[in-house]
């Protein structure tokens, strides 16, 4: 009996050692793979930064550029590109604070000029995607901050509280959902501005899944397959899993058929006007003004392009540029050149850079700080000439 027991004990000890060594080996392999994946991701980020010479040319004369690039790198390292879940509107940004780049309560900070106590307060809300979030500019050079500066100059007896609700990846109807949430929460604006266009073309017209959000694949992968918050956090924080997800062959694909793109552009245009009507009805009910602006893009602007801008436009046109160009032409025909919309607060500012020779784009749609300044100026001028703010 003792001999059999001794044999069993030795077998169990041997198996335990094999199992323990196997687990230790797998842990070491995973740690090494994680380190390698982190190194590869850093190399990818470095290569992507070096590949876009537009950024350097657009910021070469900015005295704050070194601090800003340092702060942006810290933001990207701290957040890992992840978003914070937000009911109904789906997500907002993780909070972050630095000298030039600040996100508070999920939204980008707006820098406003000092004002005199007793000034009439005008609350302005801005909605849009990443081009309104303005990750390529410091806090004081976002569209929201520059618009605040412009409005304070035009109306010196008023104090403008400008809130930037622009969020990366957001599309027009998603912004209307966010607006509705804010209103139902008791907040009230005097003026609401929507700044859209490129995401409608890139994410709604160009995607293989029409009218699905551009982040559909990402949320489908994570929220359908991962049930536990602990595991979800691991996915966001793991360099290895991030690299695996990026390498999936079933990622974002773009439609190339011109006929299909035109059909989708027509559908998106119809949906855009429906959202416009919905927001205008909200404005009447809650007592605010609502203005829609269609943004410029490197693909449709008539500005004198720099050498770097021209080279990038050629690259984008060869990949997925047609989806936005077709949508913009459709929107111009059905909305901006349509007499039925002539008296409505919906404007195309695609021509904002037509006489600007300096580099204003840092990629296909996102702008440098000078580009944001020009857009804010165009919006402010439109508000002034259309008497959308009472003196």
Three-state SS across the chain?
CHHHHHHHHHHHHHHHHHHHHHHHHHHHHHHHHHHHHHHHHHHHHHHHHHHCHHHHHHHCCCCCHHHHHHHHHHHHHHHCCCCEEECCCEEECCCECCCCCCEECCEECCCCCCCCCCCEEEEEEEEECHHHHCCCCCHHHCHHHHHHHHHHHHCCCEEEEEEECCCCCCCHHHHHHHHHHHHHCCCCCCEEEEEECHHHHHHHHCECCCCCCCCHHHHHHHHHHCCCHHHHHHHHHCHHHHHHHHCCCCCCCECCCHHHHHHHHHHHHHHHHHHHHHHHHHHHHHCCEEEEEECCCCCCCCCCCCHHHHHHHHHHHHHCHHHHHHHHHHHHHHHHCCHHHCCCCEEECCCCCCCCCCCCECCCCCECHHHHHHHHHHHHHHHHHCCCCCC
175 has a pLDDT exceeding 60: yes
Span 153-179, average pLDDT: 93
How do residues 265-306 score in pLDDT, each as one tens digit? 999 999 999 999 999 999 999 999 999 999 999 888 888 888
48 has a pLDDT exceeding 50: no
Span 138-157, average pLDDT: 95
250 has a pLDDT exceeding 50: no
Same domain, 78 and 172: yes
Span 315-325, average pLDDT: 80
How confident is the model at residue 246, as a pLDDT?
55
How confident is the model at residue 103, as a pLDDT?
96
Same domain, 209 and 144: yes
Span 335-364, average pLDDT: 90
How confident is the model at residue 364, as a pLDDT?
84
Q: Which of 9, 32, 51 is where one domain is finished?
A: 51
In a domain, 228, yes or no: no
As for how many domains the chain has, the answer is: 2
Greatest mean pLDDT among 176-180, 215-219, 316-320:
176-180
In a domain, 391, yes or no: no
Looking at per-residue confidence, does 215 or 62 come out higher? 62
In a domain, 224, yes or no: no
Same domain, 260 and 355: yes
How do residues 180-209 score in pLDDT, each as one tens digit? 999 999 999 999 999 999 889 888 888 755
Span 8-31, average pLDDT: 78
How confident is the model at residue 312, as a pLDDT?
83
How confident is the model at residue 161, as a pLDDT?
95
In a domain, 169, yes or no: yes
In a domain, 220, yes or no: no
Same domain, 63 and 44: no
Instruction: For residue 30, give its domain range.
Output: 1-51
Same domain, 270 and 302: yes
Residue 162 pLDDT grade (very low, low, confident, very high; cuts 50, 70, 90) = very high
Same domain, 282 and 364: yes
Span 41-66, average pLDDT: 66
Span 366-387, average pLDDT: 94
How confident is the model at residue 272, as a pLDDT?
94
In a domain, 191, yes or no: yes
Looking at per-residue confidence, does 101 or 249 come out higher? 101
Residue 52 pLDDT grade (very low, low, confident, very high; cuts 50, 70, 90) = very low
Same domain, 27 and 67: no
Looking at per-residue confidence, does 111 or 61 come out higher? 111
Same domain, 35 and 87: no
In a domain, 363, yes or no: yes
Same domain, 38 and 10: yes
CATH of residue 347: 3.40.50.1110
How confident is the model at residue 223, as a pLDDT?
45
152 has a pLDDT exceeding 50: yes
Residue 228 pLDDT grade (very low, low, confident, very high; cuts 50, 70, 90) = very low
Q: What percent of the chain has pLDDT over 90?
A: 47
132 has a pLDDT exceeding 60: yes
Span 327-355, average pLDDT: 93
Lowest mean pLDDT among 165-169, 340-344, 356-360: 356-360
Q: What is the pTM of this model?
A: 0.79
Mean pLDDT of the chain: 83
Same domain, 193 and 47: no
Span 152-176, average pLDDT: 93
In a domain, 103, yes or no: yes
Same domain, 125 and 179: yes
Residue 234 pLDDT grade (very low, low, confident, very high; cuts 50, 70, 90) = low
212 has a pLDDT exceeding 60: no
How confident is the model at residue 189, as a pLDDT?
97
Same domain, 170 and 267: yes
């Amino acid at each position: 009996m003792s001999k059999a027991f001794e044999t069993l004990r030795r077998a169990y000890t041997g198996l335990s050692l094999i199992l323990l060594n196997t687990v230790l080996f797998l842990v070491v392999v995973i740690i090494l793979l994680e380190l390698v994946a982190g190194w590869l991701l850093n190399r990818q980020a470095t290569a992507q930064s070096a590949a876009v010479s537009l950024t350097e040319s657009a910021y070469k004369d900015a005295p704050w550029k070194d601090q800003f690039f340092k702060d942006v790198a810290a933001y990207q390292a701290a957040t890992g590109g992840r978003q914070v879940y937000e009911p109904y509107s789906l997500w907002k940004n993780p909070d972050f604070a630095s000298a030039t780049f600040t996100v508070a309560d999920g939204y980008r900070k707006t820098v406003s000029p000092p004002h005199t106590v007793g000034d009439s307060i005008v609350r302005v809300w801005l909605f849009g995607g990443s081009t309104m979030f303005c990750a390529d500019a410091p806090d004081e050079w976002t569209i929201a901050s520059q618009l605040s500066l412009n409005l304070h100059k035009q109306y010196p007896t008023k104090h403008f509280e400008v809130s930037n609700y622009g969020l990366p990846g957001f599309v027009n109807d998603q912004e209307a959902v966010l607006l509705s949430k804010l209103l139902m929460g008791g907040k009230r604006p005097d003026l609401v501005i929507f700044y859209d266009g490129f995401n409608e073309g890139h994410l709604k017209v160009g995607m293989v899944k029409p009218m699905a959000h551009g982040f559909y694949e990402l949320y489908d992968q994570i929220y359908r397959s991962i049930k536990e918050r602990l595991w979800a956090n691991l996915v966001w924080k793991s360099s290895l899993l991030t690299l695996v997800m990026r390498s999936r062959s079933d990622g974002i694909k773009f439609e190339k058929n011109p006929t299909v793109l035109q059909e989708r552009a027509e559908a998106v245009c119809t949906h855009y006007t429906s959202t416009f009507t919905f927001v205008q009805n909200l404005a009447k009910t809650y007592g605010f003004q609502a203005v829609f602006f269609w943004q410029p893009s490197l693909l449709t602007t008539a500005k004198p392009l720099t050498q770097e801008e021209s080279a990038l436009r050629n690259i984008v046109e060869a990949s997925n540029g047609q989806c936005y160009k077709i949508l913009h032409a459709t929107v111009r025909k059905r909305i901006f050149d349509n007499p039925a919309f002539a008296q409505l607060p919906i404007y195309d500012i695609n021509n904002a850079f037509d006489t600007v020779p300096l580099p204003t784009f840092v990629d296909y749609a996102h702008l440098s700080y000078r580009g944001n300044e020009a857009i804010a100026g165009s919006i402010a001028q439109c508000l002034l000439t259309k008497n959308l703010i009472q003196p």
